[in-house]
Amino acid sequence: MQRISRWTFAALLMAAAALLPRTLFAQSTLPAAGQTAPAFTLPSQDGTPISLASFHGKWVVVYFYPRDMTSGCTIEAHNFQRDLKLFEAHNAVVLGVSVDSADSHKQFCTKESLDFRLLADTSHTVTEAYGSLAEYGGVTIAARNTFLIDPKGKIAQVWTKVKPATASSDVLAALPH
């Protein structure tokens, strides 16, 4: 049996790690309940910068979704839209985040009659900070994860691998009544 140098072994190990799906790495960096939510400022569908800090004193739902105009993402967005008044009654705002552009979000909101903010994370920094960056078929997307942030800026609850059909109702059930 031939021995390889530790440098060769390290290079092989790094090459193998590069081939693993990015979601394996993203899951290890998910912020947990009780932690301060990572701060962010991102453009919304109309280009207005939206900061997490501007919602201090409110509950904030930050849901990451893969792509505008896709079936699962449309179902999830429609359900958040349907329940928007219920979230507002709980002093909560809903923010959708994907790596799509603000223009793509604008088209999606217009087509689907969405009134809440969709934020464009084209640099992937916020999606990565929330452990929600993934790759699918060689394309970088946001993994379907949702974070409930309390009025003091702490993460109250985290949902991973969210089901689009129940995401909104799951988060509503977690809000204090």
149-165 pLDDT, tens digit each: 999 999 999 999 999 99
pLDDT tens digit string along 66-111? Answer: 999 999 999 999 999 999 999 999 999 999 999 999 999 999 999 9
**Percent of the chain residues topping a pLDDT of 70:** 84
Which pLDDT belongs to residue 18? 44
Which pLDDT belongs to residue 177? 81
Burial 62-89 (b: 16+ CB within 10 A, else e): bbbbbbbeeebbbbbbbbbbebbeebee
- In the chain, which ranges are continuous DSSP H helix? 6-19, 22-28, 71-82, 84-89, 102-112, 125-129, 167-174
pTM of the predicted protein model: 0.84
109 carries an active-site annotation = no
Which pLDDT belongs to residue 124? 96
Q: How far is CA 100 from the centre of its chain?
A: 12
Pairing state between β 117-120 and 133-136: unpaired
Marked catalytic residue, from 60, 73, 156, 172: 73
Query: How far, CA to CA in Å, does 48 sit from each of 44, 76, 150?
Result: 5, 23, 23
